[in-house]
Amino acid sequence: MIENLPPCPKCSCEYTYEMNALVVCPECGHEWVPGESGAQDGESAGERVVKDAVGNVLTDGDTVTVVKALKVKGSPSGIKAGTKVRNIRLIDGVDGHDIDCRIDGFGAMQLKSSVVKKA
């Protein structure tokens, strides 16, 4: 039995418990082997990987293209598919909005990585 169980790598919950050889998170249900390095799917512990709509890894400063038309609240016209967005910043946003950017004609916005592709 492990004395100090590690927090959940997905949701950071401290109330994890041991079940056979696994450690389980009661909040999100994530299960993992405690001896493994925190890396899963090529991610290192503490490093978040953001991928675009087709699976390319995005980084700060990339240029992306919007892949589908987006409605913008308070604007008569939305953002058209094919609009290029330069110099993005990756953030921990709300509701999956993980890209902070400035779009010509609209100003500062937050986008979801699932609606853009790397240019």
pLDDT tens digits for range 91-108 = 988 888 999 999 988 899
Give the predicted TM-score (pTM) of the model. Answer: 0.59
With a cut of 70, list the residues of the chain below it in pLDDT. Answer: 1-3, 36-47
What DSSP assignment string belongs to 81-99? TT-EE-S-EE---STTEEE
Contact 86, 51 (CB under 8 A): no
State the pLDDT at residue 39. 45
Mean pLDDT, the chain, integer: 85
Q: Which residue has the tokens 């589908």?
A: 68
Read off the tokens for 113.
């990585």
CA atoms within a 13 Å half-sphere pointing along the CA-CB vector of 10: 13
Residue of 55, 56, 50, 109 whose CA lies nearest to 83: 109
